Amino acid sequence: MSKLKALLLTQGMHGMISQVEGLAKALKLDYRHQTIKLKNFWNFIPPKLTPITANVLSKKFICEAKVIISCGRKSVIPSIALKRKFGNDIFNIHIQDPKVAISNFDLIVCPKHDGLDGNNVLQTTGAIHYLSTQEIEKNSNYLKVNQANKKLVAFIIGGPNNYYDFSDEEINLVFNKIKTMFSSDKYKLMIIPSYRTPKRVIEKADSVFSHDHLVVKSVDKSSYLSALSQAEIIIVTCDSISMISESAVTGKPIYVANMKVKKDGKRFKDFYSQLKEINVIKDLEDKIESWSYNNLDEVNRIAPIIKEKMRLNGIY
């Protein structure tokens, strides 16, 4: 029996791709990605004020799928437009709060910290993603780390967003704190940048850590997975809900390296609070602890629920 075809709609950002692809894999769909680009004017208009038409797209595309999985503001309109065109012949799923009426979608998969509720809303703890424990372990030996009986620590660095600016002052505070706490006589750090990590931050990390620790200077998924596999402790900068959620699939202790926030980040606060309640994360303060928790694998938890909803809609 051939797999159902899915069309994944995003703006092309890593965090969004991770979510739509993770869900498509968990549902065992035959998927392809479509990067959504809007005509210049519509980039500045919120979805609720944008007309539901393919005319707002800078490049149109053909849909031959039975399932649409979208994530991100720009993907909202094309998903709704496809639903209106094909009706019950397709099943459209949007990940995160679409900021429009939820009735436009067959299903919304939404983190609890987004605060969205409804009959067609399926809540998750943290963000869903495409990482699996099998893939992480498969890449375990990719990084060759000379640890000399030291504990391995993965330090995953994000980048600036609407809430955190990654100023030189904040980066200096975080880096110096980590270097002091995780001394080179007891710990070996694996510093891993992400797609959003500025070049100056990578260069700073190389300057601060490279003498005693391993600094990966380019974005490399295999290095990221290998570090998650080998580490006993994981540190993630506070800007990335996605990378904290991805790290939580390991079941390993996760420290959040906090920085000064630019504006009220209620979503971040709610997210941190939820993960602290289930013992997944702790703030990086002045002591190093060890703890455990049931690893978070939300995408595979919700996959059977979604399959049943699709079956009831005549899709699966």
Per-residue pLDDT of 238-259, as tens digits, reads 999 999 999 999 999 999 999 9
289 within a domain of the structure (yes/no):
no
Asked if residue 171 and residue 57 are part of one domain, the reply reads: no
pLDDT one-digit tens code per residue, 22-79: 999 999 999 999 999 999 999 999 999 999 998 999 988 989 999 999 999 999 999 9
Pair 107, 137 in one domain: no
At 116-167, the pLDDT tens digits run 999 999 999 999 999 999 999 999 999 999 888 899 999 999 999 999 999 9
d(Cα 115, Cα 289) in Å, to the nearest integer?
31
Residue 135: what pLDDT? 94
pLDDT tens for 178-189 read 999 999 999 999
Q: Are residues 9 and 49 in the same domain?
A: yes
Calpha distance 202→208 (Å, rounded): 10
- Residue 303 and residue 253 in one domain: no
CATH number, domain containing residue 269: 3.40.50.2000
CA–CA separation, 23 and 17 (whole Å): 10
Q: Say whether both 101 and 183 belong to one domain.
A: no
Are residues 86 and 196 located together in one domain of the fold?
Answer: no
Q: Does 1 score more than 70 pLDDT? A: no
The 187-193 sheet, strands edge to edge: 214-215, 187-193, 151-157, 233-237, 254-257, 281-283
Domain presence at residue 290? no
Q: pLDDT value at position 158?
A: 95
What is the span of the domain harbouring residue 258? 133-283
pTM attached to this predicted model: 0.90
Residues facing 9 on adjacent strands: 34, 70
Tell me: do 149 and 275 sit in the same domain: yes
Region 296-303: mean pLDDT is 95
Tell me the average pLDDT across 89-97. Answer: 96
Same domain, 180 and 261: yes
Q: Copy the structure tokens of residue 110.
A: 């939404």
Same domain assignment for residues 185 and 210: yes
Q: How many CA atoms lie within 13 A of 316 on its CB side?
A: 14
Question: Is residue 206 over pLDDT 70?
Answer: yes
Q: What is the pLDDT of residue 11?
A: 93
Residues 182 and 263 in one domain: yes
User: How far is Cα 291 from Cα 104, in angstroms, rounded to an integer?
Assistant: 42
Residues 261 and 139 in one domain: yes
Asked whether residue 171 falls in the same domain as residue 271, the answer is yes
Tens digits of residue pLDDT in 101-118: 999 999 999 999 888 999
**How far is Cα of residue 239 from the mean position of the Cα atoms in its chain?**
11
CA distances from 154 to 178, 231, 255 (A): 11, 6, 10
pLDDT of 77 reads 96
Query: Tens of pLDDT along 215-233?
Result: 999 999 999 999 999 999 9
Q: What is the largest CA-CA distance in the chain?
A: 63
User: Cβ distance 127 to 245 under 8 Å?
Assistant: yes
- Counted domains in the chain: 2
Cβ-contact 192, 155 below 8 angstroms:
yes
Confidence band of 14 (pLDDT split at 50, 70, 90) = confident
